[in-house]
Amino acid sequence: MSVPFSAGGIFSTVEDMYRWNEALTAAGKLLSPDSLKQMFTEYPEATHEGQHYGYGVVISRLKFGRLQYYHGGGVEGFSSSIQQYPNDRVCIVILSNLDSYKPWELGDHIAADLFGRLSSGVR
């Protein structure tokens, strides 16, 4: 990437993205409680096929019947996905060095396995 920009212009690790998610969702750590509320509010004008958009985050209840916040994307050579299930205290981060890869699909498989185990009582 010769000119980094907002869509994909970040160098990070799975661990850093997880720490970012934890800091972001802790009220008052990075954002004020009011800003967090606005970020995770479902705006009706940004609704598409049962999914909503907050400030920079997709909000859905379509997968596994659980509240999910997520965002993904990519540029030439890279793709990423971060999926948070706040009521379950689960965060799944997938980073790939393939732009043709769909990391959210792997995240969905991980979540399906995890939530299948939780609903059957297996930990």
User: What per-residue confidence (pLDDT) applies to 10?
Assistant: 72
Strand partners, 75: 78
Instruction: With H, G, I as helix, E, B as strand and everything else as coil, classify residue 6.
Output: coil
E strands in 1-123: 43-48, 51-53, 58-60, 68-75, 78-85, 90-96
Question: Measured between alpha carbons, how far is 18 from 10 in angstroms, rounded to an integer?
Answer: 14
pLDDT band for 87, please (50, 70, 90 cuts). Answer: very high
Decide if pLDDT at 84 tops 90.
Answer: yes
pLDDT digits (tens, 9 = 90+) for 19-58: 988 888 887 788 899 999 999 998 877 777 778 888 889 9
Nearest Cα neighbor of 99 from 82, 75, 81 is 75
